[in-house]
Amino acid sequence: MRTQVGIVGAGPAGLLLSHLLARRGIESVVLEARSREYVEKRVRAGVLEHPTVELLREVGLGERLDREGMAHEGVSLRFDGEEHRIDFADLTGRGIVVYGQQEVVKDLIAARLADGGDVRFEVSGVRIEDVTSDPVIHFDGGELRCDVVVGADGFHGVSRACVPHTAHDRQYPFAWLGILAKAAPTQDELVYAHHERGFALYSMRSPEITRLYLQVPVDTDADDWSDARIWDELHERLGTEINEGPLLEKGVTGMRSFVTEPMRHGKLFLAGDAAHIVPPTGAKGMNLAIADVRVLADALTTHLQDGDDTGIDGYSDTCLRRVWRAEHFSWWMTSMLHTDPAADAFDRRLQLSQLRQTVSSRAAATTLAENYVGLPHGSV
């Protein structure tokens, strides 16, 4: 087989890139190791920045998002027994939408297949070769020759190993124990709680499903936490009304920051989690992936249709400016809200001082709000 763009990975980055390219008359093939059922049910991020929502609407993917997504105009920070709302609408004139990553993926798969797009699931044995000359993606049962290859196959995929790179890595001394519960949300917006026993987050996925997190040690086994223990700890740390319900999912997620530089080698381009990871505190992961492929779609269009390499030559630097802004914001949120097991009383008083400044200063609150709702694409 031959195509113009071979895409490894059918997550939001790979699927959206394929969709954007198709609208410009550029052929692509998407290869995914997992089954369609798996990728459509894989629960991940749920916060869509304002620029992400605008882009999805612009390219014809807003119908179910607008019908089922939950628009939020702020978040709350809770500490010292009090809750403080950061009003995004007032501070920035914009907001966010809570709409699960798996829902974005469902919409993209449906759109690609309806347009005759070539998306192949359960493709095994993928390896990428000759990325500096005539790229080819080998897989069990065949090969795909391409003008360019895009690695959108996540942190554990095969693509990043094909790019000579410098890795910037920071692992945090705590993790998140997350649950998905069949319980109607009692809050209209997300609540971030700083507590002496550890951080907690109240969020939601739909009017019937609640998503909640607890800070736990990195070596935590989710099976050691009974449902009753989880609910008791959430009540303690959040200090607010919570509906309890049967758990649909329970798991532990490590916290890390990771950046690959550069995001390109020859005719291979990395996008999304294949190139960078952020701690989930700032809700940036999926949004960064979408920002990557928006830049990449423009760059590949001018390269393949006009022979202009300006965009692809600048791809890595352009994306990394936004990546490092998101890394800083995510680190700042994480450091301000979590209880570091190695921190002393001095450190904890610094955290409380930062929290008080953030909720009492309009300038500080605006900085949080601007970063949270998403800086305009192309502005960083």
- Of the residues 255, 289, 321, the one at which a domain ends: 255
Asked whether residue 207 is assigned to any structural domain, the reply reads: yes
pLDDT value for 205:
87
Q: Are residues 33 and 108 in the same domain?
A: yes
> The domain that contains 142 carries what CATH number?
3.50.50.60
pLDDT value for 43:
76
pLDDT value for 378:
77
> The domain that contains 183 carries what CATH number?
3.30.9.10
Q: How many domains would you assign to the chain?
A: 2
Between 42-46, 88-92, 111-115, the lowest mean confidence (pLDDT) is in: 42-46
Q: Strand 2-8 and strand 28-31: pairing?
A: parallel
Q: Are residues 179 and 249 in the same domain?
A: yes
Q: Are residues 186 and 157 in the same domain?
A: no
Catalytic residue among 72, 165, 265, 338: 72
- Of the residues 232, 255, 278, the one at which a domain ends: 255
pLDDT value for 154:
95
Is 41 labeled as catalytic in the residue annotation? Answer: no
User: Helix 50-58 crosses helix 285-306 at what angle (to 10 degrees)?
Assistant: 40
Q: Are residues 178 and 160 in the same domain?
A: no
CA dist 76 → 1, 41, 45, 67, 346 (Å): 52, 29, 18, 25, 25
Question: For residue 274, what are the contacts with CB-CB under 8 A and spacing of at least 6?
Answer: 9, 13, 151, 152, 153, 154, 155, 157, 159, 160, 260
Asked whether residue 90 is assigned to any structural domain, the reply reads: no
CA distance 160 to 269: 9
CA distance 40 to 209: 17
Q: Are residues 325 and 240 in the same domain?
A: no
Asked whether residue 350 is assigned to any structural domain, the reply reads: no
- Of the residues 308, 324, 339, the one at which a domain ends: 339
Query: pLDDT tens digits, residue range 341-361?
Result: 999 999 999 999 999 999 999
Catalytic residue among 165, 267, 280, 303: 280
Q: Are residues 138 and 268 in the same domain?
A: yes
Asked whether residue 51 is assigned to any structural domain, the reply reads: no
pLDDT value for 42:
82
Query: pLDDT tens digits, residue range 204-215?
Result: 988 999 999 999
pLDDT value for 46:
86
Confidence of residue 41 (pLDDT cuts 50, 70, 90): confident
264, 315 in Cβ contact below 8 A?
Answer: yes
pLDDT value for 206:
87
Q: Are residues 237 and 184 in the same domain?
A: yes
Asked whether residue 159 is assigned to any structural domain, the reply reads: yes
**N-term to C-term CA, the chain:** 38
pLDDT value for 364:
98
Q: Are residues 266 and 235 in the same domain?
A: no
Catalytic residue among 284, 303, 315, 338: 284
Asked whether residue 143 is assigned to any structural domain, the reply reads: yes
Q: Are residues 111 and 35 in the same domain?
A: yes
Question: For residue 319, what are the contacts with CB-CB under 8 A and spacing of at least 6?
Answer: 263, 275, 291, 292, 295, 296
Instruction: Label residues 326-357 b or e (16+ Cβ within 10 Å = b).
Output: bbebbbbbbbbbbbeeeeeeeeeeebeebbee
Asked whether residue 354 is assigned to any structural domain, the reply reads: no
Q: Are residues 122 and 157 in the same domain?
A: yes
Is 72 labeled as catalytic in the residue annotation? Answer: yes
| Span 200-226, average pLDDT | 95
Confidence of residue 164 (pLDDT cuts 50, 70, 90): very high
Q: Are residues 130 and 197 in the same domain?
A: no
| Span 22-41, average pLDDT | 96
Q: Which two tokens stand for residue 210?
A: 């609640």
Average pLDDT score over the chain: 96
CA dist 356 → 80, 99, 245, 330, 363 (Å): 10, 30, 33, 18, 13
Catalytic residue among 99, 202, 315, 372: 372
| Span 318-339, average pLDDT | 97
Query: pLDDT tens digits, residue range 140-162?
Result: 999 999 999 999 999 999 999 99
Asked whether residue 131 is assigned to any structural domain, the reply reads: yes
294, 15 in Cβ contact below 8 A?
Answer: no
Catalytic residue among 12, 51, 185, 192: 192
CA distance 252 to 376: 32
CA distance 369 to 333: 12
Question: For residue 370, what are the contacts with CB-CB under 8 A and spacing of at least 6?
Answer: 91, 92
Checking if the pLDDT of 240 tops 90, the result is: no
- Domain hosting 201: range is 173-255
Query: pLDDT tens digits, residue range 254-313?
Result: 999 999 999 999 999 999 999 999 999 999 999 999 999 999 999 999 999 999 999 999
Q: Are residues 152 and 221 in the same domain?
A: no
Is 284 labeled as catalytic in the residue annotation? Answer: yes
CA distance 354 to 360: 10
Apex 179 CA angle, 242 and 237, nearest 5:
45
